Amino acid sequence: MAAAVSAAVSLPSSKSTSFPTRTSIISPEKINFNKVPLYYRNVSGGSRVVPIRAQVSTEAPAKVEKISKKQDEDVVVNKFRPKEPYVGRCLLNTKITGDDAPGETWHMVFSTEGEVPYREGQSIGVIADGVDANGKPHKLRLYSIASSALGDFGDSKTVSLCVKRLVYTNDKGEEVKGVCSNFLCDLKPGAEVKITGPVGKEMLMPKDPNATVIMLATGTGIAPFRSFLWKMFFEKHEDYKFNGLAWLFLGVPTSSSLLYKEEFEKMKEKAPENFRLDFAVSREQTNEKGEKMYIQTRMAQYAEELWGLLKKDNTFIYMCGLKGMEQGIDDIMSSLAARDGIDWAEYKKQLKKAEQWNVEVY
């Protein structure tokens, strides 16, 4: 039986601003994290209480015809190729990890003038300035887009990334800096940046606004999920109103490396019935057995519930970040499936075919 649950959230006051097109967004407000202002959009205005209705279903949903996200002909890929990239400008670049975090991660916004028409879940390529050891232009590197299609400023004219600065020590004991990540993290506002793409259909959002969307991220793997979650909770669209369950698991090394934490907490305040948020802070937390808290360790604490959700037709799992996480997640899924006499490898194949299991790890 399905039951309707009502929740109320109190939204802060608005300053009027007009925004274009199909989406009505009323109040861009500043959100501060790590002393750096970013902007998020309020879905409504005024100091008033806005009711949010959430359908909480206690039984399997009725079968509905699924609309494939990957067959969507309106999704643009490879508009810009390396030979003729789009040249945007950096509008903002800000470190979003604390000074004591292991490594630096930056959030950056580039202008596109609406010329790079991406969807939530896609990636872009970036070609760093300069040449490689052979005197040839650098090859492009891919980055998951961290903003919704409307962009951080709500005008569909920007694209944002979340980039970890790669620095490591090689066999000779020398410090090596990754080419493109360092180029990006060092970009100053006003600087030009060569963009290719957009690319990728694996991580596109499900079309069903009532879906359960389980998002599993390690580190910068959070990028596509920030993009999903802005669309779900910070924006108002005529043709899309999220009314399902979004459940984010984010794994990072330290609490000072928790990415976009304040934004996600804001979303939770706005839609407590529709958003669940769990962090796995690997170097600070352990489970009851004293094991390091990886994302799969946190998930194991909700094993039964997750398995129950996975058996539903309208549950979609997305995984993004470190390659190593995939095996860990497979391991817990295998043990859960085995309890029901199900072969996980086979079951996963079916989920993939139905676009319910979506992985982009590196």
Contact (Cβ atoms closer than 8 angstroms) between residue 248 and residue 215: yes
Q: Is 27 a catalytic residue?
A: no
Among 234, 251, 318, 356, binds ligand NAP (CB under 6 A): 251
Q: Is 282 a catalytic residue?
A: no
Coil, strand or helix at 269? helix
Catalytic residue among 144, 147, 148, 282: 144
Interface with ligand FAD includes 196 (CB under 6 A)? no
Interface with ligand NAP includes 362 (CB under 6 A)? yes
Interface with ligand NAP includes 197 (CB under 6 A)? no
Answer with the entry of ligand FAD, ligand NAP, none that 252 interacts with (C-beta below 5 to 8 A by kind).
ligand NAP
Contact (Cβ atoms closer than 8 angstroms) between residue 136 and residue 125: no
d(CA 97, CA 101): 6
Supply the minimum distance, in Å, between the C-beta of residue 161 and ligand FAD. Answer: 6
Answer with the entry of ligand FAD, ligand NAP, none that 187 interacts with (C-beta below 5 to 8 A by kind).
none
Q: Rule CB under 6 A: which of 121-160 touch ligand NAP?
A: 144
Among 156, 160, 212, 218, binds ligand NAP (CB under 6 A): 218
H/E run at residue 55: strand 49-57
Cα separations (Å) of 89 from 16, 57, 95?
27, 46, 18
127 beta partners = 194
Coil, strand or helix at 217? strand
For residue 343 the two structure tokens come to 């072969």
Q: Is 320 a catalytic residue?
A: yes
Q: Rule CB under 6 A: which of 63-102 touch ligand NAP?
A: none
Q: Is 39 a catalytic residue?
A: no
From 265-273, 290-298, 332-340, 349-357, span contacting ligand NAP (CB under 6 A): 290-298
Alpha helices in the chain (DSSP H): 179-185, 223-229, 261-270, 295-300, 303-310, 324-339, 344-353
Coil, strand or helix at 51? strand
Owner of token pair 């601003």: 17
Supply the minimum distance, in Å, between the C-beta of residue 252 and ligand NAP. Answer: 5
Q: Is 18 a catalytic residue?
A: no
DSSP string, 116-128: S---TT-EEEEE-
Interface with ligand NAP includes 318 (CB under 6 A)? no
Interface with ligand FAD includes 124 (CB under 6 A)? no
Residues annotated as catalytic (active site), given as ranges: 143-144, 320, 360, 362
Residues that bind ligand NAP (CB under 6 A): 103, 144, 164, 218-221, 223, 251-253, 257, 282-283, 294-296, 320-322, 324-325, 328, 360-362
